[in-house]
């Protein structure tokens, strides 16, 4: 894969066993310097320790994706320490999002939950782009990737806030791609299907996973490394002509 040696990437949302951690490790394996950020700084430190065991370059930072000042401080830290920001991966989520717990329908869903879900899942990513994009434009290039859920394309009678936020992320990516494209900045989305993160394995049954597998055109369900590989590609020079796209990494569950 071309184009990651010497680059600096932020992974916004990484704890061991999740998509962000797998992506941080993959980017480091491709010779990028990685700033690993999470609300839980000890979790970010654990990911950095794993990267350093592989002789990779990484630094850990604590940040709150729902707080603009916190996200700005993360971008500022990266520029101060490493001189640039070549990649931004928005992957931090509210762990309760999309579970159907309290996120009901447009009639009965609590408004505070709606606001919280939009703040974390959509507005938080906007904060990152808002502060990383000018840096990338000034330096003459960069790549941004947002993680979205395939629930943005499905209809359901619950999880309204989560689905609305993910739909908004796709529009945010296209706006960013249009705004940054002529300056060499690309922005794409990765639509993740069922991914067996550590949390997913802990909170689902074997019976449920077997049932879900029947809906996937693949012999297995996804793992965090599947998303990590796509993000690494989208950050690389091999994806230099890919901009404003949403790429499904879901084993063929959705052919939208």
Closest CA to 65 of 97, 35, 38, 99: 38
- Residue 199 tokens read as 């949390």
| Residue 162 among the catalytic residues | yes
Task: Please give the Cα distance from 232 to 2 (Å, whole number).
Answer: 10
Neighbouring C-beta atoms of residue 160, cutoff 10 Å: 19
Angle, alpha carbons 59-61-65 (nearest 5°): 135
Task: Please give the Cα distance from 192 to 226 (Å, whole number).
Answer: 9
With tokens 């002529």, the residue in question is 182
Neighbouring C-beta atoms of residue 189, cutoff 10 Å: 27
Among all residues, which ones are annotated catalytic?
A: 162
């Amino acid at each position: 894969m071309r184009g990651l040696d010497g680059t600096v990437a932020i992974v916004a949302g990484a704890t061991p066993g999740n998509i962000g951690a797998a992506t941080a490790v993959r980017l480091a394996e491709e010779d990028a310097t990685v700033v690993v950020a999470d609300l839980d700084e000890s979790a970010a430190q654990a990911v950095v320790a794993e990267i350093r065991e592989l002789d990779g370059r990484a630094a850990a930072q604590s940040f709150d994706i729902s707080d603009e000042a916190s996200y700005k401080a993360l971008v500022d830290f990266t520029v101060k320490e490493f001189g640039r920001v070549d990649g931004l991966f928005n992957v931090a989520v509210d762990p309760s999002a999309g579970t159907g717990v309290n996120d009901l329908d447009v009639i009965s869903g609590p408004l505070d939950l709606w606001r919280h879900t939009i703040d974390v899942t959509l507005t938080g990513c906007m904060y990152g782009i808002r502060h990383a994009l000018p840096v990338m434009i000034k330096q003459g290039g960069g790549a941004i990737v947002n993680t979205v859920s395939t629930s943005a394309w499905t209809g359901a009678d619950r999880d309204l806030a989560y689905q609305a936020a993910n739909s908004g992320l796709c529009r945010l990516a296209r706006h960013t791609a249009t705004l940054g494209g002529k300056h060499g900045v690309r922005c794409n989305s990765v639509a993740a299907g069922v991914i067996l993160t550590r949390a997913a394995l802990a909170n689902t049954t074997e019976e449920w996973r077997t049932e879900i597998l029947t809906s996937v055109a693949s012999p297995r369900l996804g793992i965090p490394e599947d998303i990590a590989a796509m993000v690494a590609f989208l950050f690389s020079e091999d994806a230099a002509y890919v901009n404003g796209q949403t790429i499904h990494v879901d084993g063929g569950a959705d052919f939208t």
